[in-house]
Each structure stands twice: as C-alpha cells, then as structure tokens.
C-alpha cells in the first residue's frame, strides 16, 4: 500500500492489522470500533487484530485516538459501535473487571490513574487481589510482604521490606511504572497493552523491560505496544500500525519504513533525523550557582546558566536532573550552595518567589504537579497569573478565555476550545497547554523537566521550536531529559549529570553522541 494513496484517498478501506499466521486465529480482533464524545468523533471504524506471540506497535499523533482505543480495551470506556472478539468469540467489555476476565491487562501511561496514594507499595502490588477478595481488605502490610515480593519478582524488582512498607506516593515515577507492570503480569495475560511504558525509565530499566516483553511474546502473549520512540519500535515490534484521526492509516510488517509511518501519522512529511539549525551561544549569565549540592551524598557543583541559549541536562534517572530544576524553582531547596540571578542573591523560599522573578518550571509529572482535574484549558493557563485576568479579585472570564485561546493557537493544541477540560485532552496536548502556560508569562528563566514525555514526533518538534525561539528572544532556558536524542535536538549546550555531579559540559556541535552516552554511566 502506498503511503501517499492511503492518506490522499477520501474514504479508503481501512487497512487491517493481521500480520500473524493465517492458520493461527487472532487472540483479539476489533471490528469497526467507533467512539464519540458529544459531537467529537474520536474513533471512526477501527479494525485490527492482535496475534499470540507477536508485538504490534501502535503509532499515532496526540489526539489520534490511541488513548481512547486503549481505554476501550481496558474497560474504562465502552465503544459506541463495532465488535470485540477474544479467541474468536464476541465479548462485551464494560468494566476493567471484564477486561481482566478475558485476559486483557493494560499498563496505562498516567500512573496517577492506577496507583492508590495512602496505601503502601506492598498494598498497591497486591491491590487487584485485595479487590477480588483473595487477600482480606484489612490484612496487615506485614502479612502481604511475601506476596508483594513474589509479584515484584516478575520484573526482578528486589525491593526491600522497608520500601514495600512505604507509602506508594513516595515512589519515583520510574518505580511506580515498574510496579504497575509487575502487577499486570501477575495474572499471565493473553493480551498485554503497554502505553508508553518506557517514558520514565532509565536505559538499564528499558533493557530489562524489553527482555520481559520478549519473554512474554515467546510465551504466546499478544502485545500492543504504544510508543513515540521510533528506535524502540524498530528493535522490538513485529508489526507497526498507524492511527490517524480515529482511523488506521498504515500497517507495516518488519522491516519498517519509519519515514512512511511518520508521514502517515502526521499527514505530512517530517524527517526522522534531527533538523539542521544554528547553534546559539549566550554570553550574559542569568543564574550563577555556587557550591550547590544536588543529592544527599553528591559533591558541591558550580554552574552558570546564560541568557540566549538552551542548556540541556541529560542523565539517567536519579542523576539529579529534577533536583537541579526544582531547586532553582524553589520546590525543594538544595542541600547546600547559593544562587544569584542577574548578579543579585536569589534564594526562593517557595515557588511563588520564583514566579515573581519570572523563573518558571514545567514539571516532570504534568498530571500530578501541573494540572487540576476538571479545570478548563483557560483556567489551567491563567492559574499562576490569576492577577493578570482579575479586577478587584474578580476573574474576567473573557480575559481568561482569551489567554487560553492564545496558547491553543500558538502551540497548536488540538481541542474544542479554551473551555474544554484539560484532562480530557490527549497527553501531548496537555503538555502543550502546560508548556504554553508558562511561555505566556514572559519567562526570564524557563526550566523544563522531561518536556517531551508522551509527546509525538510532530508535537516534539513544535515544542522544540518554541523552546529555541524563547532562547533566541533572550531568555535563559534549561531542559532536562534522559533521552540523548531529545536533548541534542533542542539544546545548544549539554551538561551530563551522574549522581549529582557534572561529568561533561560542552556545546552540542562539539559533543559526540557516543561519548555523551558513555559519560552518563561513569562513576562520579
């Protein structure tokens, strides 16, 4: 099938994902699945198959309908029309319990939707067994420890009893993601749906996850793998399916034509390789950090961040990237050290102090730290700048909507307007709103922690372009990420952090990618 033809035809017969053996019937088949929310038709007749012992990668731009399709499989939404068949027989998936009964397990991208704060790590590992009544609801955490260790061992998670006893809210995002995956594997699923499973993991954890996924495939599990990382899809998937605007546009077996897949996904040609651009080198220091200690056992570090350039900080999870950004923003004070901003002492007591100085942070976990459930796009955008749209303490709805609409227009947010609930948007469009909110406040220093997490290639390029434009206009920009390709795409200058220690500092044009990756694993 020609990619050009599949995109240009007005109403083509949708391609069907069926690369598995013709003799071997599909474990799961979706036929003409549709779903609408009000007047917004999100899925428009999706037909696809998942076969035992095969990994199917699902690609799609933010807003393509991937999350809706996944939630239908998980029993969180009900399809408006169409049929779902498991092992050849039609089934109705009306609840998450139905999905599990039919052997469908889903690990969602949004961790906050599936872990239970206030319960221990052990209780979260055993949560489904508690719900089913296999474990008494008021059983002690101590009594659950053996079973929790057994569940964790599915991913070789050798967590101590003290870690299993702690509140799950204290876990980092990466550990929480691994917890959910371990819990999903307990029931030996027939179908495993993984939504951006590597978005919070280090390279070592990704390698371990891939080993588990391949082992499950070899045991006959049908796997639907959703990711924006083309390198992962190339090395892991047996087939590739592209969803765009609620329809399947392209289906490919290995070897994949990823440029064709990206064009099908976005409806336009976007080179997979890093775009050529002019490197900026700032001269005037904005922030000067002296003797800053990022981690409890790390050595003091000195660092200057300059106006007019993008500084990228890359490192494995736990390297101190978030601690650097959050310390500058006043969330969590550094263990030691001082800062100056434009030569004057800068010691924010809280985030409000930082915002008053026009020092802003896009946090790593947008759902938990940057959005409020049920709030509109407009209200989310103006939240830190409420005084700008208020008179005598009364918020002007017109001014609020105008500011929200401006962010929607400038960042290409796919939405029904500024009054739409922000948590009803796709993950990538939520990220555009969160980034755009701070850009609307004329940043002096812009800190972005993992800004491309869960964002498709097109949106990533758009956000990168906005970040670079902000630096070109004279702002000081710091971007933290664990993905070297993402950092090289956006940054003029690159810092490598290892265990809170800067092991490499240089301009992107002068730094070899292999050397960067090697330096990320050096002992500080």
Of 446, 523, 434, 518, give the one whose Cα is nearest residue 484.
518
Collapsed DSSP state (helix, strand, coil) of residue 480: strand
Q: What is the DSSP letter of 12?
A: P
Three-class HEC string of 262-297: HHHHHCCCCCCCCCCCCCCCCCCEEEEEEEEECCCC
Q: Got the DSSP string for 163-202? A: HHHSBGGGS-HHHHHHHHHHHHHTT--SEEEEESTTTT--
Do β-strands 28-37 and 40-50 pair in parallel, antiparallel, or remain unpaired? antiparallel
Calculate ∠ Cα 366-368-371, nearest 5°.
Answer: 60
Collapsed DSSP state (helix, strand, coil) of residue 80: coil
* Residue 509, CA atoms < 13 Å, CB-side half-sphere: 7
Q: What is the DSSP letter of 47?
A: E
pLDDT at 303: 97
Distance of CA 119 to the CA centre of its chain: 24
Task: Give the whole-angstrom CA distance, residue 4 versus residue 6.
Answer: 6
Task: Give the whole-angstrom CA distance, residue 144 versus residue 361.
Answer: 39
Single pTM value for the model: 0.63
pLDDT at 103: 92
Distances, alpha carbon 390 to alpha carbons 352, 396, 405, in Å: 18, 6, 17
What is the C-alpha radius of gyration for the chain, rounded to an integer number of angstroms? 23
Of 97, 96, 147, give the one whose Cα is nearest residue 120.
147
Task: Give the whole-angstrom CA distance, residue 189 versus residue 140.
Answer: 28
Task: Give the whole-angstrom CA distance, residue 21 versus residue 179.
Answer: 33
pLDDT at 382: 93
Do β-strands 89-91 and 55-59 pair in parallel, antiparallel, or remain unpaired? unpaired
Collapsed DSSP state (helix, strand, coil) of residue 492: coil
Per-residue confidence in pLDDT tens, the chain, 524 aa: 333 333 333 344 556 554 444 447 899 999 999 999 877 788 999 999 999 999 999 988 767 889 899 999 999 999 999 999 999 899 999 998 899 899 999 988 777 777 888 889 999 999 888 888 788 878 888 999 999 998 888 777 889 889 999 998 888 777 887 888 888 888 789 999 998 888 767 677 788 788 888 988 998 999 999 987 778 888 899 999 999 889 999 999 999 988 788 778 766 544 444 445 688 999 999 999 999 999 888 899 999 999 999 999 988 767 899 999 999 999 999 999 999 999 999 999 999 999 999 999 999 888 888 888 899 999 999 999 988 888 888 889 999 999 999 999 999 898 999 999 998 888 888 999 999 999 999 999 999 998 987 777 778 888 999 999 999 999 999 999 877 888 988 999 999 998 899 999 999 989 888 788 778 766 44
Calculate ∠ Cα 356-357-362, nearest 5°.
Answer: 85
Question: Bridge partners of 21?
Answer: none
Q: Reply yes or no: is the peptide bond before residue 94 cis, omega within 30 of 0.
A: no
Length of the chain: 524
Q: Are 490 and 468 in contact (CB under 8 A)?
A: yes
pLDDT at 133: 79
Task: Give the whole-angstrom CA distance, residue 135 versus residue 125.
Answer: 12
pLDDT at 14: 57
Three-class HEC string of 388-432: HHEECCEECHHHHHHHHHHHHHHHCCCCCCCCCEHHHCCHHHHHH
Q: What is the DSSP letter of 227?
A: -
Tokens at 355, concatenated: 């915002």
Q: Are 145 and 122 in contact (CB under 8 A)?
A: yes
Contacts of 187 (CB under 8 A, 6+ apart): 100, 103, 105, 128
Contacts of 283 (CB under 8 A, 6+ apart): 306, 307, 308
Can you state the angle between helices 457-472 and 427-439, rounded to 10 degrees? 10
Task: Give the whole-angstrom CA distance, residue 217 versus residue 199.
Answer: 21
Three-class HEC string of 306-369: ECCEEEEEECCCCCCHHHHHHHHHCCCCCCEEEEEECCEECCCCCHHHHHHCCEEEECCCHHHH
Task: Give the whole-angstrom CA distance, residue 317 versus residue 168.
Answer: 18
Three-class HEC string of 91-144: ECCCCHHHHHHCCEEEECCCHHHCCCCCCEHHHHHCHHHHHHCCCCCCCCHHHH
Backbone angles phi and psi of 279, in degrees to 5: -80, 135
């Amino acid at each position: 099938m020609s990619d050009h033809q599949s995109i240009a035809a007005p109403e083509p017969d949708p391609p069907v994902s069926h690369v598995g053996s013709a003799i071997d019937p599909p474990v799961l088949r979706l036929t003409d699945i549709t779903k609408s929310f009000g007047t917004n038709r999100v899925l428009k007749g999706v037909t696809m198959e998942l076969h035992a012992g095969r990994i199917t990668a699902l690609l799609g731009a933010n807003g393509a309908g991937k999350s809706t399709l996944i939630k239908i499989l998980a029993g969180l939404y009900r399809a408006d029309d169409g049929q779902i068949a498991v092992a050849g027989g039609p089934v109705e998936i009306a609840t998450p319990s139905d999905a599990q009964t039919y052997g469908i397990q889903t690990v969602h991208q949004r961790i906050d939707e599936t872990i239970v704060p206030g319960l221990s790590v052990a209780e979260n590992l055993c949560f489904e067994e508690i719900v089913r009544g296999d474990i008494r609801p008021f059983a002690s955490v101590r009594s659950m420890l053996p079973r929790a260790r057994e569940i964790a061992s599915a991913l070789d998670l050798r967590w101590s009893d003290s870690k299993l006893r702690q509140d799950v809210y204290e876990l980092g995002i990466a550990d929480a993601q691994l917890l959910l995956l371990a819990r999903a594997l307990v029931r030996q699923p027939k179908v495993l749906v993984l939504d951006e499973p590597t978005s919070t993991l280090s390279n070592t954890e990704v390698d371990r996850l891939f080993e588990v996924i391949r082992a499950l495939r070899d045991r006959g599990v049908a796997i639907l793998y959703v990711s924006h990382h083309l390198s992962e899809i190339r090395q892991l998937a047996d087939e590739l399916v592209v969803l765009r605007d609620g329809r399947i546009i392209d289906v490919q077996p290995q070897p994949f034509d990823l440029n064709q897949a990206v064009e099908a996904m976005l409806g336009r040609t976007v080179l997979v390789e890093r775009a050529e651009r002019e490197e900026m080198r700032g001269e005037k220091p904005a922030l000067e950090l002296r003797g800053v200690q990022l981690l409890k056992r790390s050595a003091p570090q000195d660092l200057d961040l300059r106006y007019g350039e993008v500084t990228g900080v890359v490192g494995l999870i736990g390297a101190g990237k978030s601690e650097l950004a959050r310390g500058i923003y006043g969330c969590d004070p550094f263990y030691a050290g001082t800062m100056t901003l434009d030569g004057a002492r800068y010691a924010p007591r809280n985030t409000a102090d930082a915002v008053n100085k026009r020092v802003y942070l896009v946090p790593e976990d947008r759902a938990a730290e940057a959005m409020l459930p049920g709030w509109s796009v407009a209200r989310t955008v103006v939240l830190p700048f409420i005084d700008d749209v208020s008179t005598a303490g009364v918020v002007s709805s017109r001014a609020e909507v105008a500011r929200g609409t401006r962010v929607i227009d400038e960042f290409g947010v796919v939405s029904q307007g500024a009054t739409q609930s922000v948590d009803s948007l796709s993950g990538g469009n939520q990220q555009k709103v969160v980034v755009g909110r701070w850009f609307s406040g004329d940043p002096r220093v812009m800190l972005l922690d993992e800004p491309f997490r869960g964002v498709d290639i097109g949106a990533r390029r758009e956000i990168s372009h906005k970040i670079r434009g902000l630096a070109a206009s004279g702002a000081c920009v710091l971007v933290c990420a664990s993905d070297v390709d993402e950092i090289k795409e956006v940054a003029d200058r690159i810092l490598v952090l290892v265990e809170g220690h800067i092991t490499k500092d240089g301009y992107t044009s002068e730094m070899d990618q292999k050397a960067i990756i090697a330096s990320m694993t050096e002992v500080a």
